[in-house]
């Protein structure tokens, strides 16, 4: 009987997970890729992307069976009625000036922004619960996100997925610049991957090498995407991205040759069995035809050419699912060898990059300045700048000045006018008076930060400076962190721009193109969308003397003790006369002897 049951079970298992009835094709798929880009400064950037696409309507049906899509995130989407979720944890700063435009940049610290569905009644309540749940899942202190660092942008952060309407009251954005990323954040992130860290590209994710880098950014993006080319139904896409930049001189001991083993201390041995696609791309654009400077080993079987971020680029492709590349007997260790050192030519400068700093002296006031560089020789383009400043830096908005090339630049004026009109008051909505866009929401103490959003037209080949003066506030003594002299962080500014491309991109099929080409939806091929972040700032606030409560308590208690004690003694002390006891040692000894004899003492 037992044997019959066992055979029955075996037959059941052989039929596959579909079981009886029709075999249902799996409704989720995994694509993973790694892009290795040598940067102009000699460093190497590696970007991992793991994309799980799930053809299911989470909002309408009750889902209980999760296969590749992690259950923790799927339950989050249905419970909080999310439309999009973007969470990133970053350590370091992407130097756009020297490294080029990134695929996807994230600000230092933790950044969380989410679009909720229109059915949510209390967005703030859902936002608070969402940040608490995510802090538990990713072991990060996201529970510090509250109304003092959350803003509702009015024009930036449009949804990256399918969208019916964009009512910005369902959007929330928060940054925690102080958050530190460490292995405890990487471990739960890796657990969400279908193959965890056992097979495929995720074997390279070893914490001790990944954190030995100049820039480390891990992110989770959830958004709805088109299921097919006609886009008649919706699938959910989960992208987990991890970008690292290896410092050539620290990691490579000064030599510019690098390999996968040198970077990650691992090689690729097998693809992830659950993956539909598993590929490694190596950027060989600058060294493509001229084979004498560079050699990529093993030689790639295919190459891929496309317009990425406005320029034409060539990639060597290694497909892990191809047995010729990776098999049981052979592991993949991609090596890049320099045959001749590259000529010392100036590295190409990206068309848009930005810098931000605090100036001023003392602990009373200061000035916040952002420099926006447009290095395109003849094209001007618009940039949307979002600034979220904490409430304890009181901004003086009447000192907001925007200058380009030495002249004043009104936000998003279409053409430079010979006689500039008088500056527009900022409390008047701009749509009434001109073609500019400025949105300013003042801060409320301990409740809300400042929000400043501006659409600025950057003239060609210019530097635009946006500056605003502020005054520092004195906090209550319990509001200081244990290390108040470290300073307080100001979250980075966000620049959203449509940068003109050098080469027009052909709109291709989104499903066929590699993952790094489909991060932002593009409608117009003459420019590409990029979102850059500036550095976070560290501002010192005036601190009180924290030992004062102790000093006051000591002093008061001493004074009270002295006064009260003296009065008490004066009032209650009585005096009695006491016989003086005189006599030396001899008299005492004699008294001792007399007492022993029973005779009264002297």
Q: How near is the Cβ of 40 to another protein at its closest, in Å?
A: 26
* Between 412 and 534, CB nearer to another protein: 412
* Between 2 and 571, CB nearer to another protein: 2
3-class secondary-structure state, position 338: strand
Q: How near is the Cβ of 591 to another protein at its closest, in Å?
A: 42
With contact defined as beta carbons under 8 Å apart, do 30 and 237 qualify? no
Structure tokens at 151: 């803003």
Q: How near is the Cβ of 524 to another protein at its closest, in Å?
A: 9
Q: How near is the Cβ of 511 to another protein at its closest, in Å?
A: 14
Residue 553's H or E segment, with its range, is helix 548-572
* Between 63 and 332, CB nearer to another protein: 63
3-class secondary-structure state, position 506: coil
Q: How near is the Cβ of 445 to another protein at its closest, in Å?
A: 16
Q: How near is the Cβ of 44 to another protein at its closest, in Å?
A: 20
Q: How near is the Cβ of 39 to another protein at its closest, in Å?
A: 23
* Between 159 and 536, CB nearer to another protein: 159
Task: For residue 376, give Cα distances in angstroms to 249, 379, 459, 463, 529.
Answer: 31, 6, 9, 11, 15
With contact defined as beta carbons under 8 Å apart, do 18 and 28 qualify? no
* Between 41 and 78, CB nearer to another protein: 78
* Between 154 and 293, CB nearer to another protein: 154
* Between 205 and 282, CB nearer to another protein: 205
Instruction: Tell me the sheet residues that pair with 67.
Output: none
Which of 278, 329, 285 shows the shortest CA–CA distance to 311? Answer: 285
Q: How near is the Cβ of 338 to another protein at its closest, in Å?
A: 29
* Between 262 and 439, CB nearer to another protein: 439
* Between 234 and 358, CB nearer to another protein: 234
Q: Are strands 275-283 and 28-38 parallel, antiparallel or unpaired?
A: parallel
User: Cα separation of 456 and 464, whole Å?
Assistant: 9
* Between 162 and 321, CB nearer to another protein: 162
Instruction: Tell me the sheet residues that pair with 88.
Output: 111, 219
Which of 356, 436, 442 shows the shortest CA–CA distance to 396? Answer: 442
> Which residues are CB-neighbours of 186 under 8 A, at least 6 positions away?
205, 207, 210, 218
Q: What is the DSSP string of 420-486?
A: PPPPPPTTS-GGGTSS--EEEE--BTTTB-EEEEEEEEEPTTEEEEEEEEEEEPPPPGGGS-S-GGG
Q: How near is the Cβ of 506 to another protein at its closest, in Å?
A: 17
3-class secondary-structure state, position 171: strand
> Which residues are CB-neighbours of 192 under 8 A, at least 6 positions away?
70, 72, 73, 220, 240
With contact defined as beta carbons under 8 Å apart, do 381 and 492 qualify? no
Q: How near is the Cβ of 274 to another protein at its closest, in Å?
A: 20
User: Cα separation of 209 and 264, whole Å?
Assistant: 6
Q: How near is the Cβ of 346 to another protein at its closest, in Å?
A: 30
* Between 20 and 361, CB nearer to another protein: 20
């Amino acid at each position: 009987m037992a044997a019959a049951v066992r055979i029955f079970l075996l037959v059941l298992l052989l039929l596959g997970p579909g079981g009886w009835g029709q075999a249902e094709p799996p409704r989720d798929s995994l694509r993973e890729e790694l892009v290795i880009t040598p940067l102009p400064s000699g460093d190497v950037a590696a970007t991992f992307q793991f994309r799980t696409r799930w053809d299911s309507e989470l909002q309408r049906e009750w889902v209980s069976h999760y296969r590749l899509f992690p259950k923790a995130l799927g339950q989050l989407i249905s419970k909080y009625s999310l439309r999009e979720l973007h969470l990133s944890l970053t350590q370091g700063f992407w130097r756009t000036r020297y490294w080029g435009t990134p695929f996807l940049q994230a600000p230092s610290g933790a950044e969380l922004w989410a679009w909720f569905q229109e059915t949510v009644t209390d967005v703030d309540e859902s936002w608070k619960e969402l940040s608490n749940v995510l802090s538990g899942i990713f072991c990060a202190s996201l529970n510090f996100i509250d109304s003092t660092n959350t803003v509702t942008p009015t024009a930036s952060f449009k949804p990256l997925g399918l969208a019916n309407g964009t009512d910005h009251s369902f959007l929330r954005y928060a940054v925690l610049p102080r958050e530190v990323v460490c292995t405890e954040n990487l471990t739960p992130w890796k657990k969400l991957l279908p193959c965890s860290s056992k097979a495929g590209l995720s074997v390279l994710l070893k914490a001790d090498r990944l954190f030995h880098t100049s820039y480390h950014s891990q992110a989770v993006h959830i958004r709805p995407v088109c299921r097919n080319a006609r886009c008649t139904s919706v699938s959910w896409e989960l992208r987990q991205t991890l970008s690292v930049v290896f410092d050539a001189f620290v990691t490579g001991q000064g030599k510019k040759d690098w390999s996968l083993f040198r970077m990650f201390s691992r090689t690729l041995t097998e693809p992830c069995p659950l993956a539909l696609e598993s590929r490694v791309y190596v950027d060989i654009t600058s060294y493509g035809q001229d084979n004498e400077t560079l050699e990529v080993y093993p030689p790639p079987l295919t190459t891929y050419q496309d317009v990425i971020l406005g320029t034409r680029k060539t990639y060597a492709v290694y497909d892990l699912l191809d047995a010729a590349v990776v098999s049981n007997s052979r592991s993949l260790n991609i090596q890049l060898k320099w045959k001749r050192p590259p000529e010392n030519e100036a590295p190409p400068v990206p068309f848009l990059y930005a810098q931000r700093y605090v100036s001023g002296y003392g602990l009373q006031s200061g000035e916040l300045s952002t420099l926006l560089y447009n290095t395109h020789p003849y094209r001007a383009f618009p940039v949307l700048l979002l600034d979220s400043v904490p409430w304890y830096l009181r901004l003086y908005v009447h000192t907001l000045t925007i200058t380009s090339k030495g002249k004043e630049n009104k936000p998003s004026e279409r053409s430079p006018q010979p006689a500039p009109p008088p500056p527009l008051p900022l409390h008047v909505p701009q749509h009434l008076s001109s073609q500019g866009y400025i949105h300013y929401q003042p801060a409320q103490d301990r409740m809300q930060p400042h929000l400043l959003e501006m659409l600025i037209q950057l003239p060609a080949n210019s530097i635009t400076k946006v500056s605003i003066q502020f005054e520092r506030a004195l906090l209550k003594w319990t509001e200081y962190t244990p290390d108040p002299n470290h300073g307080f962080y100001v979250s980075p500014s966000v620049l959203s721009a449509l940068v003109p491309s050098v080469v027009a991109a052909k709109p291709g099929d989104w499903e066929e193109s590699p993952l790094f080409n489909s991060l932002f939806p593009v409608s117009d091929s003459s420019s590409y969308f990029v979102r850059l972040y500036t550095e976070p700032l560290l501002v010192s606030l005036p601190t009180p003397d924290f030992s004062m409560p102790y000093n006051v308590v000591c002093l008061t208690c001493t004074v009270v003790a002295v006064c009260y004690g003296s009065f008490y003694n004066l009032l209650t002390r009585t005096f009695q006369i006491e016989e003086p006891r005189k006599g030396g040692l001899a008299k005492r000894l004699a008294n001792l002897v007399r007492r022993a004899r029973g005779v009264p003492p002297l």
